[in-house]
Structures are given as C-alpha cells and as structure tokens.
Amino acid sequence: MTAEQAPIRTVVIVGGGTAGWMAAAAAARFLNDGQRRIVLVESDAIGTVGVGEATIPPILGFNRLLGIEERDFLRETGATFKLGIEFVGWDTGQDRYFHPFGPHGRDIEGLNFHQLWLKLRDQPGIGTIDEYSASAMAARHGRFAAPADDPRDPLSQLAYAYHFDAGLYAAFLRRRAEDGGVVRIEGRITGTDRDPDNGHLRAVLLDGDRRVEGDLFIDCSGFRSLLLGDAMGVPFEDWSHWLPCDSALAVPTERTEPLLPFTRSTAHPAGWQWRIGLQHRTGNGHVYASAHMSDAEAERLLIAHLDARPTADPRKLSFRAGRRLRLWEGNVVALGLAGGFLEPLESTSIHLIQAGISKLFGLFPDRRFVAVERDEYNRLMGDAYTAIRDFIILHYHATRRDDSPFWRYVRTMPIPDSLAHKIMLFREKGRIFRYDDELFAIPSWVAVMLGQNIRPTGYDPVVDALDGDRVAAALRQMRAGIADAVGGLPTQSEYIARYAPASRR
C-alpha cells in the first residue's frame, strides 16, 4: 500500500445472521491486523431469517480457511453430511433423480466421461449415469464416509457438503469472531448518515442516539437491505417472472432413522418441499408461488408430506427472486439476503455469501474506493448470481409436468437466452461448457439435464476415435468398482456416532 492509499480503519458489518457472522469470522481471521476495528451491529429484537440449512461442497473450503476443525463444527452445529440432492417428481410427477456432488466416472484420454457414457448407454452392463457417481451410490444406500485419499480408489470421488442448524452455525461463528477481536454492538439501526460530497456512508445511527462510524460497511441486514437498498438506493432486479416462488413455510420435525446423507426436494403443484436431516431434528419447508397456491393449501401439503411429528408450528417467509443491480456501491458491499435471493433449490445462498466474502477480500479496497475494484467485484458477483439463476430455472422449465397452472407456466415461459443456449447445445451432442467462474461444474449440469429428461440426440464424435470395446470394458469396471466400494461404507448414523456425535441433541 502506498502513502496515498489510506487503509480501511473500521469495517462495520450490519446484521448478525448467517451472512453477518460468516463475514465477521472471516474478517477476524484475515482483516484483523491489530490496527483495524471490526464491528458488527445486530438487533436481537429483529432476529434473523433462521433458515438455510443445506450447503454445497465449497463450504468445506470456507471452514478450512477459518481453521475450523470438522469434528467441532459437526458437534456444535448438529450437522450431517450431504452427498447431493434427490429430486422427486420434477419431470413427470412420478420420477426421481439424483444430483450428486463430485464427478460421474473418470474421463478417458481427456474425453468427458458423460460423452463416453452417452455413446455406450444402451449396451449391456453399462447402466445409468448415477451408477458412476460414488456420491450418488453412497446416498442411495444411506451410507457415508470421508473421501479416500488414494486417487485410484473409487471412494476418492466422493464429494460432500453439510446440512447444519443455521442458528447454531451463526452462534458458532460468533464465538470465533468475538474471540478474534470483532466487537458486537446490540441495537436497532434507525437511520444512516451519508457524505453529501461523495455519497459514501459515514455512519449508521442506532436507537438511543448512538452512532457507529466506519470506512467500509458490509450490509448483512437480510431482506431489508438497509444499507445497499435503502441508504444507497441500488435498485432490485426482479427475476420472479422466471422464478415465481415467493413464499415458504418452514417446520422442524423429530429426527428420524435412517439419517439420510442428502437433501430431498419433492415437487408439489405450485413449488416444492425440502427435507433436510440434521443430527437433532429434521428441517422441512414448502417453497411455493402465492399466485398459484394459498397459504392454507401450502400448509396442508407440507404437513401431509412430513415423515415425522412436527416440533413447532410452521413459520411463513416471503421473498422475491432477484438481486440488487450492483452488490458494491460506494463504500457499501451487500452479502446474503441484503444483496439478493435465489430460492434454496440448489442450496446456493450460503455459497454466495462465501463467494462474496472471498471476492471482497480478494479486491479489498483502501479509503479511495477506486472504481476498478468495485466494478470487478460487481462483474464477478453479477455473473455468479446469473449462472446460479439459470441453473435453478432449468429445473422448472425442463419438465413434462402439465398438471397445474404453475407447471404449465414455468414449462412454457420464455427463459434467459444464456440458458436456452446451454439447453440447445446439450440436446444436440450432450455438450456442456463451464464459463468463467461458474459454480456448477459439468457433472451437475449433466445430472440435472438428464434428470429433467433432456436427452441428447447424439454424442461428441471425437469419442469414436477411442476403441469402443475397450471403453465399454473400462466403464463396466468403474461401475462395479463403485458398487463394491460403497457396499463397504457405514451408514451415516454409524459414521457420525463414531466420528463426532453432536453435543446438543
């Protein structure tokens, strides 16, 4: 940093939900140079959204960077392991498919595995693409173990994330953040003070005539978007014409056995229901479009599809799909719900918080707040939101369901050009390209495209250069290797009981 690059002295984080405490814990670890003040303001009276229990594999990297021991994390947050998502009834109403974490099979001579499988799929002994995913096969049998270290072992291809209790995770991170020097201020924000010259935020105003000044403000105030939306006036880009679900009812139930190592997403007439098994309870919720279903009917369906006794009354949440046009404006950066919302179908919101934190730290400003750093952040995060948006729309649009006005709407609605292009490419020869920093890798797109019955009419002709019999033999061997290896794994309950039983059942 040169003399004119005056360092940020005070970082003010507004909000103490998952976003706020993730940002605070990361700031304590990476921004606390002994000179900088890191403050978090939250209001217990307002509370947090309190949901958000399913994650995707990059969360392991986030925890690791923070120096979190997996065993401590599992015990403290009631967490379980997640190998992917089972989608029930998303194509015809009667179907089910699995979106696993990790790859399908192994590429041969640089050719994508799924292209080899597409060519050979009708031959005897080749089986379904799922049978080449260690994660999908372990999930199917309710089994789990940490991935093997030896790359030749089929279990090295296991990949996983977590289900955890959102409240316990925030509390866990809070302890780490406060130990790392973050100062928490309890209070309700009633206003803001902006510099009339450059529009930057100077302070947030709290009840009791208090004022918290800062150089950089991280808005984690949830759907209210107090700083980026209200104070800075950054408009919201509405995506609800593509993603019409705007409501959810969430209800916990008692823990059940077996403890499934995956999230289940069951399609309903105007949305879908999640099921997330934790160590101490199961989280359930029904996400639906209020234009197509009343709250009473949504609650009836939710309760009818529970597999255990509810332990509380259903709680209603309302939202709108979309994001703020810019996630960094002036000296304000929004993380979490303050920046935007994409429904939890692929468990991506917590990941977007993590991505926002790592990109903000990667482009950490000084007090001049130069445009090029801000613009790069906005470009990267804008692309991240858009790619996830397209992936979620795919689940709704590529369906044969025709049994309700909701499904007729989503299957016939115009979709973003970016997604239409991806579907056309896949339909032709099963090709998928991963653009830039796009989150979901080829196996994810392949699993969901095939699961939603998009059948490529051909395969990549380059595959014909390989000896078909040799490739078929290799595939049969991979399939048998995975079945064998998965058969020897413990159930998830056995694994957790041995590895890290929760302290808070």
Active-site positions read 82
The least CB distance from residue 342 to ligand FAD, in Å, is 9
The least CB distance from residue 191 to ligand FAD, in Å, is 10
Nearest of 212, 206, 189, 218 to residue 330 by alpha carbon: 218
The least CB distance from residue 184 to ligand FAD, in Å, is 10
3-state DSSP assignment of residue 264:
strand
Nearest of 155, 104, 147, 94 to residue 448 by alpha carbon: 104
What would the two tokens of residue 448 be?
């969901």
Residue with smaller CB distance to ligand FAD, 250 or 500: 250
Distance of CA 246 to the CA centre of its chain: 18
Residue with smaller CB distance to ligand FAD, 100 or 339: 339
Question: Which amino acid makes up residue 74?
Answer: L
Q: Return the exposure string of 84-121: e unless at least 16 CB atoms fall within 10 Å of the residue's CB, then b.
A: bbbbbbbbebebebbbbbbbbbeebeebbbbbbbbbbb
The least CB distance from residue 339 to ligand FAD, in Å, is 8
Contact indicator for 88, 272 with CB cutoff of 8 Å? no
Element (H, E) at 11: strand 10-14
* Cβ neighbours of residue 403 closer than 8 Å, sequence gap 6 or more: 93, 269
Q: Can you give the binding site for ligand FAD, defined by CB under 6 A?
A: 15-20, 41-43, 46-49, 51-55, 166, 188-189, 220-222, 224, 226, 248, 250, 285, 317, 319, 336-338, 344, 347, 349-350
Contact indicator for 6, 368 with CB cutoff of 8 Å? yes
Phi–psi pair at 135, nearest 5 degrees? -65, -45
The least CB distance from residue 89 to ligand FAD, in Å, is 19
Element (H, E) at 121: none
Nearest of 7, 15, 6 to residue 334 by alpha carbon: 15
The least CB distance from residue 74 to ligand FAD, in Å, is 17
* Cβ neighbours of residue 429 closer than 8 Å, sequence gap 6 or more: 456, 457, 458, 459, 460, 461
